[in-house]
Amino acid sequence: MTSSAITILIALFGLLLLALACQRLYRTRFVAATGSALMGFVLLAVAAVLFVISLNLHTYARLTHEQPVAEIVFEARGPQQYRATLAEVPSGEMQLFMLSGDEWQLDARVLKWRGWANLLGLDAQYRLERIGGRYRDIEQERNDERTVYPLSENPGLDLWMLSTRYPRWLPFVDAVYGSATYMPMADGARYEISITQSGLIARPMNPAAETAAGTWR
């Protein structure tokens, strides 16, 4: 059963209890009506919390093994200036960015669950967070133009924030961590980005990218 279905069932039980409370109130059974009303409001509050958490969780994708999450292609537009085309997998959604620097960096968030939560169908999940350019030279990194772009919104109740600030409240969360990968930018270079349980991996996918990555050796 999905989290959405559980949330709906809890909300329905809450509404039924409120309806029962109204019926008992009509029959002047005030104590019983109060108890039913309180339980109904508690269940509706629980359903509301589950809803805002699941709303945030839907911004993540399931992660069961190594899988491609994006491809990125670069086009030189000037000295240390590149147009990056990022295509997310499997949605195929494409975004264009102007990046400054010598290298690109992609960041992601990863949520891992405890074993008993996995048995309920909760696989590790990830969300691409941001993309940016970076300079090899430290002084340039400190002083020159920085280009960083968000890749996702953060609606609902932020499960990431809650799990880091209040871990005792979320015992089903095993670990939350950020992961990043970066590689050189070059005209015509194409990279595939995959994610595993341990984080992001970038691989060159054409000669231009292989030549650029070879400059690190």
User: Taking each helix axis from N to C terminus, what angle separates 3-26 and 30-57, rounded to the nearest 10 degrees?
Assistant: 160
pLDDT at 91 over 60: yes
Residue 1 confidence (pLDDT): 47
What is the spatial distance between Cα 20 and Cα 149, in angstroms, rounded to a whole number? 51
* Cα angle: 136, vertex 177, 193; to 5 degrees: 55
Q: What is the pLDDT of residues 95-117, one digit of tens each?
A: 999 999 999 999 988 777 665 45
What tens digit of pLDDT does each residue of 139-169 get?
A: 999 999 899 999 987 655 566 566 666 666 6
DSSP bridge pairs for 191: 72, 204
Where in the chain are the domains?
A: 3-57, 62-214
Residues forming beta bridges with residue 200, ordered by sequence position:
195
Distances 63 to 124, 126, 193 between C-alpha atoms, Å: 5, 7, 14
The enclosing H or E element of 5 equals helix 3-26
Q: How confident is the model at residue 124 (pLDDT cuts 50, 70, 90)?
A: low
CB 146 within 8 Å of CB 206:
no
Question: Can you point out the beta strands (E) in the chain?
Answer: 61-63, 67-78, 81-88, 94-100, 103-113, 124-134, 148-150, 173-184, 190-196, 199-204
Task: List Cα–Cα distances, 137 to 105, 140, 192, in angstroms.
Answer: 15, 5, 25
Backbone angles phi, psi at 67, to 5 degrees: -150, 145
pLDDT at 22: 76
Which class for 86: exposed (0-12), middle (13-18), buried (19 or more C-beta within 10 A)?
A: buried
C-beta separation of 10 from 50 below 8 A: yes
Whether the CB-CB separation of 43 and 10 falls below 8 Å is answered with yes
Q: Is this model's pTM higher than 0.75 or not?
A: no
pLDDT, mean of residues 108-137? 74
The answer to whether the beta carbons of residues 99 and 191 sit under 8 Å apart is: no
What is the C-alpha separation between 110 and 114, in angstroms, rounded? 13
